[in-house]
Every structure is written in C-alpha cells, then in structure tokens.
Copies of this chain bind each other. A is one copy, B any other.
Amino acid sequence: MEKRKRITIADIAKLAGVSKTTASMVLNGRASTFRIKEETRERVMAVARENHYSPNLHAKSLQANRSDAIGLVIPDLTNFGFASIARELEKLCRQAGLQLLIACSEDDPDVERQVVDGLIRRQIDGLIVASSQTSDEFYQTLTKQIPVLQLDRHIGQSALPLVLTDAAKVTADLIERIAASPVSEFYYFGGQLELSPSRHRLAGFELGLKRAGVDENPEWIRHRDYQPESGYEMMQQLHQELGRLPEALFTASYTLLEGVLRYLKEHNCLEALESKEMRLATFDNHDLLDCLPLNIDSVAQDSEKIAQTSFQLIRLLLSSQRVTPTSFALDANICWRSQ
C-alpha cells in the first residue's frame, strides 16, 4: 500500500511534448475555444487516458476559490425522511459534479454550529440546513459569504430562502376528514413548539377541527419533544387521566407514533386500533404502516420533490450574484388506511 505519486498535468504535458497550458486546455474540453490542433489534442488525450490522469481537485479549488462541494446539515441520518432527502440530494449533486458533505447536528444547536464550522473550513460553496437554532443570526452572518438554504424548518421569521412541506394544509385535510367521522374528542401529541414544523402541524390540526365543526378543547393539545419516549409518556398520562383510550389521536411525528404504539402494545390496547375503536393518525409516513393491522392514517412528505427543489434553488443561489430569496412550501400526500 505504497502511496504512489499521482500523475500531474505537468507529467502529461511533458509526456505529450506540450506545455502545461495546452494540456490544461485540452483536458478541460476547451481545445476548440483555444484552437488547439486536432493532432495535439488527441495526443494529449491519449497520454492522459493511458496514465489514468485525474486532476487534483485541491489544486483546482485553490486557484478557482471554489470547491464544488456543498454542505447538508440534518438532525439525524437515521430519520427516514431526512435520509431520503439526503439520498436524493447526493445523487443530484453527484450527477452535477458536486460533492455533498453530509453532517448531523443531533438536533443540538451547539453541535450544529460546530459541524457548520467544520464544513466552512472545508470551503463549501453553499449550505443546506435543517436547523435546530432558534435564531438565524449565525446564518445571516454566514450567508454574506456563501448561500444558505433552510430545509424543512423555518428559523423564526428568517428571510433566508426556505424549502419545506406545507404541513398546515395537508394536516388540516387529514384531520378534517377524520374529525367528520364524527368524533367528540381529538387529542394531539407534538414536539418542541420552537421548531416551525411543530407550529404548522398544530395550526393544521386546529384548522382541520374547525372545518369539521369540532370545538377544540385546549386539554387535547400536548407537547414535549420528538423522542419516542415522549410519545410513550404522553400516551401513558392520557390513558391514566381518561381511564380509557382516547377516541382519536394525532401524533405530529413518526417517532411520537412509535412511542404511542409501544405503550399500547405493552398494555394490550392495540386491539382498539384494529377495531377502529380508537382512531390514530400521524405526520410522517413509513412503508411498514401499510403492512399492519392497525389502520393508521399518515402524511407522506414528498422527499424527492423537497430534494429536487432544494437542489435547484441552491444552484441558482450559487450561480447568480443576487437572487430574490424564494421559499417553497410543497404539497404532501395523505395515506388513508382507515377508510
């Protein structure tokens, strides 16, 4: 495993009997622009191919002051939604000759700053971030140097461009239809209200109830964080309070749903879902939900569209000096399993 010295453009030039400039032009496909003789062109190309020449991107980046790399910061790679977005973005970047640098913030604002700093040191040309910050101050400063795109989450009233799911709309549609069954109560388990998706999901929930003509009871709305344990504990408390299962429940994330299901399983209450005695719906989707005897309706975000939109937007920001920061709220789909 000896680190054989890589072949450079100077080597190619020497072997082909031309200058570095000529070799460079040819290898960058700009031979015609500089009217390099066809014969020279081919000679250089042949030598390069034979020697498996591949340019040193660090040298290129150094002189171009551009790295052709962009950063993606998400809370957690094992979250299916974020993983889907990351996968699609990686593919789009690769096909465009860009390198996507993926890093996780663990939903911790401090960790988030650290990983962003790390990416900056790597000279990324742009950043896409699903932020856990409560203020966009940090990114307002950063965006003076490179374009920053908010993903999935809106930091406060930040004016930075933004791509996310129109959670309020789809949640309202989901809730309205279920509430019209009708139901006399509809509980809501959510995560941190500081995160914008939480607010939109809750707003959608309330709108849905209203449209179904159901009077909201403040008792129904409960918040903690998005850990499965929180779902478990909220379900436990609710069960104890009521002395029975709720008629209908919406969990604002897949992780919360998991906690709720774990509680129901442990207390042998899953039967209530199978018999539709208890209605359960959730934000976020999972293929496995199709395969269960549990009739759980869900909201499936369009990860592919989110990734594609983010990619187009960041490319635009990367190319032009000044783009009016635009934001996109994308439609999501409802997976009905109870009807």
Contacts and interface: CB of A to CB of B under 8 A. Distances in A.
A265 B293 CA distance: 7
A1 B65 CA distance: 16
Interface string A84-107: 101100110010000111111000
Contact of A87 (B4, B104, B121, B265): B104
A78 B87 contact: yes
A144 interface: yes
Contacts of A271: 293
Contact of A1 (B67, B76, B321): B321
A62 B55 contact: no
Contacts of A147: 1
A90 B104 contact: yes
A118 interface: yes
A121 B258 CA distance: 42
A81 B145 CA distance: 37
Contacts of A121: 54-55, 57
A202 interface: no
A277 interface: no
A56 B58 CA distance: 10
Interface string A58-89: 11011001010000000011101001101100
Given A94-B118, A99-B122, A78 B67 contact: no
Most B CB within 10 A of own CB, among A55, A99, A228, A262:
A99
A14 interface: no
Interface string A131-158: 0000000000001111100000000000
A291 interface: yes
A198 to B, nearest CB: 22
A317 B78 contact: no
Contacts of A122: 57, 99
Interface string A105-136: 00000000011011011110000000000000
A291 B4 contact: no
Given A1-B147, A76-B87, A99-B101, 14 more contacts: A1-B143, A3-B145, A4-B144, A6-B145, A54-B121, A77-B83, A77-B90, A78-B87, A86-B102, A99-B118, A228-B287, A262-B290, A262-B291, A270-B292
18 contacts: A1-B322, A3-B65, A4-B144, A54-B117, A54-B121, A55-B121, A57-B123, A58-B61, A58-B62, A78-B84, A99-B101, A99-B122, A228-B287, A264-B291, A265-B292, A270-B293, A292-B294, A293-B293
